[in-house]
Amino acid sequence: MNVAAIAAAAAANSAASVQAQASLLVLRKAMDLQQSHAAQLLQAIPQPAVAPTPGATVGGSIDLFV
């Protein structure tokens, strides 16, 4: 193996390492952004209305005439 081939392999390995680190940083940023958006969506959900008690509304009892 000659020196030029070794230097080319080292340069390619270094470039691949930098590219992998950049990809990882972009992935982390995307995941942080997704987490932020999910938290905003969860906060935007309105609170459910409180259900009335069964006897407090019309139809709470049935009169039967036989």
Q: How far apart, in whole angstroms, are the C-alpha atoms of residue 14 and residue 51?
A: 63
In a domain, 10, yes or no: yes
Q: What stretches of 1-66 show up as alpha helix (H) in DSSP? A: 3-44
Give the domain range for residue 39: 3-45
In a domain, 56, yes or no: no
In a domain, 33, yes or no: yes
Q: Dmax of the chain from CA atoms?
A: 107
In a domain, 50, yes or no: no
Average pLDDT, rounded, for the chain: 82
Q: Which two tokens stand for residue 10?
A: 């080292």
Q: Tens digit of pLDDT for each residue in 7-60?
A: 777 777 777 888 888 999 999 999 999 999 999 999 999 988 887 676 566 665
In a domain, 52, yes or no: no
Q: What is the pTM of this model?
A: 0.53
CB 7 within 8 A of CB 1: no
Q: How far apart, in whole angstroms, are the C-alpha atoms of residue 45 and residue 38?
A: 11
In a domain, 12, yes or no: yes
In a domain, 21, yes or no: yes
**Residue of 36 and 66 predicted with greater confidence:** 36
Q: What is the domain count for the chain?
A: 1
- At 58 the pLDDT is 65
